[in-house]
Amino acid sequence: MMHQPAARYIGLDIANGTLRGARVNVAGRSLARNDQPLAKTSVEILVNQLVSAVHAVDGTGSEAASAVGIAIPGVVTGNKVSMSANLSLLNGVPLADELTRRLGRPAMLENDANAAALAEAWQGAGRGGKSVLYISLGQGIGSGLVMNSQIWAGPNGYAGEIGHVQVEPAGAPCGCGLRGCLETIAGAAGWVRRAKTAMKNRPTKLQALNLDQAAILKAAEEGDGVALEVMDETARALGITLAAAIGLLNLDRVVIGGPAASSMLLERVVIEARQRTLPRAFAECQIKLSELNDGACVLGAARVARTGTRFGSAPSEYR
Ligand SMILES: [Zn+2]
């Protein structure tokens, strides 16, 4: 007998030091929200906080959520976080099982960038696309891939690790152990490293500022030459990587989000990607800024709660 799904789902997002929670209906409309600082001193404290965050947004009777999805900053394999750099206390913890037991309803995990990709493909800048890549630009580079309305995570959860695609064979060492990865150029540390080098020989307003990604972004918008050069190099690295992804996957939507995304960078990325992609493939691909921004992960997590699968047997249309 077919299980009749209830019509309320809860998404949680523990990606950026804040625990965001929302209960949504089948259309993804938010019915209740709750944001609080994330406690991450121990697994037990974190699990308790996740349980209370669910109760904070849940309804009663037919308004109660039937399932919970959680967006995690790390690689998710099945019901476990198999690798999280930012929340290492979760490594190897069967978090989904523990939350399912405590909440009395299914709890599912998903990588944060995958969740954001799903949300953008469903309701954001990627809607209408069949083959959607989401890239988050910030400290690091996150990305998620949605094919035919479902997350493509790969058999071990590593799909979409576009930040560690090599762009410069003899480039800077990356935190992953490789060299010249996209992240070494387009990640925050790469911006600061190149700005510092360029500042040695040229005047720049960055000299008077606390040098970080936000300062470089602002200086570029004000026309600072050094900051603009950092943006151009970032756009070039992104353009090279996107051209490969568009050609390989026939992407029809690319969505760029995260704190370092800007319309100025987007314009440059489009130019760099266009000149490296087969014209017919490029013509079918829209490259846009995120529309859901900070709300993407929590909405995607709720969507994961609703569908319960990454790929495989579920229907491939949003309903
Ligand atoms: Zn790397």
Rounded to the nearest angstrom, the distance between the alpha carbon of 90 and the centre of ligand 1 is 22
Residue 145: pLDDT over 90: yes
pTM here is 0.92
Rounded to the nearest angstrom, the distance between the alpha carbon of 210 and the centre of ligand 1 is 26
Whether the CA torsion 302, 308, 312, 318 is positive or negative: it is negative
Rounded to the nearest angstrom, the distance between the alpha carbon of 307 and the centre of ligand 1 is 32
The predicted structure's pLDDT at residue 309: 64
Rounded to the nearest angstrom, the distance between the alpha carbon of 300 and the centre of ligand 1 is 26
Q: pLDDT tier at 314 (50, 70, 90 boundaries)? A: very low
Q: pLDDT tier at 82 (50, 70, 90 boundaries)? A: confident
Rounded to the nearest angstrom, the distance between the alpha carbon of 73 and the centre of ligand 1 is 16
Which run of H or of E encompasses 192?
helix 188-199
Q: pLDDT tier at 208 (50, 70, 90 boundaries)? A: confident
Rounded to the nearest angstrom, the distance between the alpha carbon of 51 and the centre of ligand 1 is 34
Rounded to the nearest angstrom, the distance between the alpha carbon of 144 and the centre of ligand 1 is 16
Lowest-confidence pick of 136-145, 178-187, 300-309: 300-309
Rounded to the nearest angstrom, the distance between the alpha carbon of 257 and the centre of ligand 1 is 20
CA 14, distance to chain mean position in Å, is: 12
For 156-172, what is each residue's pLDDT tens digit?
778 888 999 999 999 99
Rounded to the nearest angstrom, the distance between the alpha carbon of 230 and the centre of ligand 1 is 19
Lowest-confidence pick of 6-20, 106-120, 133-147, 178-192: 6-20
Distance in angstroms (rounded) separating the CA atoms of residues 88 and 153: 20
Rounded to the nearest angstrom, the distance between the alpha carbon of 276 and the centre of ligand 1 is 22
Strand 141-147 relative to strand 150-151: parallel, antiparallel, unpaired?
Answer: antiparallel
Token code pair at residue 146: 């949605």
The predicted structure's pLDDT at residue 274: 98
Rounded to the nearest angstrom, the distance between the alpha carbon of 160 and the centre of ligand 1 is 13
Mean residue pLDDT of the chain comes to 92
